[in-house]
Amino acid sequence: MAISTMQELILDQLGDIYDAEHRFLKGQQEMVQNATNQELQQGIQLHIEQTQHHIQNLEQVFSLMGQQPKGVTCEASQGLVSEAQKDMGEAGSGPIGDVLIDGAALRVEHYEIAAYTALIAGAQLMGQQQAVSLLQENLQQEQQTAQKLEQMATRLLQAAMQSTGAGAQGTRNTTAGAMGAADAMTGTTTGAATMGQSAGAQGTTGQMTGGSGLAGDDYVKVDTSKAPDILVDETQNQSTPQRQGS
Ligand code: FE
Ligand code: FE
């Protein structure tokens, strides 16, 4: 469908999030069935109810614009839901699965936050104040949910680490991976491989010989090798990547 007027633009975005909310509703119903952590289950269950309300609010916005509710296929939400299903299939139910569900739900919330933020700006420009209020209610609940999921992430990770034994003794892969990841977050990419290797060397299983094959180690090495092409040289204090030949 051609989009050439503000009305068509808003209706397209409205149709996108209307479609996305339906997909996320089903996705969350699968998540809540697979989740084992009580806090995560309760959080998702609450947001399922909020999502049903979001759909009703969107139907009211369609009505305010003199339209019947109509979804526009949201490929991003299709992808987010299918990725969540893949994660749940691979990890199964348990502490690791809970971490993946929390992460998948957080991705969903951030998609919705972006969608509602843009939609609200458009509705404001068109002077649709009633629509703005309805959309803002949805946005606020997405933001609150994202915040809760972020706060839960650390607790779920800790539970997952304990369940795999890494929290107490440090198995080879998880300890080294965690150290590599933590180091990567500091941005000290050149030192990260060394950190990952020493973590591997200190692992309790004694199977490591120099850190090869570590998840964290490999991750950092891949990034480092690509650094000249894709990363900004921070010493030049530039805000956009500089590519060779550009
Ligand atoms: Fe929503
Ligand atoms: Fe949501």
- Which amino acid is located at 160 in the chain? A
Nearest ligand to the C-alpha atom of residue 46? 2
Question: Ligand 1 centroid vs 160 CA: distance in angstroms?
Answer: 28
Ion ligand 2 contact residues with beta carbon within 5 A: 112, 142
**Neighbour-count burial of 34, counting CB atoms closer than 10 A to its CB (0-12 exposed, 13-18 middle, 19+ buried):** buried
CA angle 115, 16, 41 (to 5 degrees): 70
Please give the pLDDT value at position 164: 86
Q: What percent of the chain has pLDDT over 70?
A: 67
Question: Ligand 1 centroid vs 54 CA: distance in angstroms?
Answer: 5
Nearest ligand to the C-alpha atom of residue 31? 2
Question: Ligand 2 centroid vs 34 CA: distance in angstroms?
Answer: 18
Question: Ligand 1 centroid vs 21 CA: distance in angstroms?
Answer: 5
Please give the pLDDT value at position 53: 98
Alpha-helical segments (H) within the chain: 6-34, 38-64, 75-91, 95-125, 129-163, 172-186, 189-201, 215-230
Question: Ligand 2 centroid vs 218 CA: distance in angstroms?
Answer: 34
Of 169, 152, 179, 177, nearest in space to 95 by CA:
152
Instruction: Collect all residues with Cβ–Cβ distance below 8 Å to 194 and sequence separation of at least 6.
Output: none
- Which amino acid is located at 44 in the chain? I
Length of the chain: 246
Question: Ligand 2 centroid vs 162 CA: distance in angstroms?
Answer: 29
Please give the pLDDT value at position 166: 66
User: What letter does residue 169 receive in the DSSP assignment?
Assistant: T
Question: Ligand 2 centroid vs 142 CA: distance in angstroms?
Answer: 5
Question: Ligand 1 centroid vs 139 CA: distance in angstroms?
Answer: 8
In the predicted model, residues of the chain with pLDDT beneath 70 are 1, 166-246
- 195, 180 Cβ separation under 8 angstroms: yes
Question: Ligand 1 centroid vs 104 CA: distance in angstroms?
Answer: 14
The pTM for the full model equals: 0.69
Please give the pLDDT value at position 112: 98
Nearest ligand to the C-alpha atom of residue 27? 2
Dihedral angle over CA of 167, 168, 174, 177, nearest 10 = 70
Alpha-helical segments (H) within 126-165: 129-163
Of 239, 240, 241, nearest in space to 229 by CA:
241
Nearest ligand to the C-alpha atom of residue 145? 2
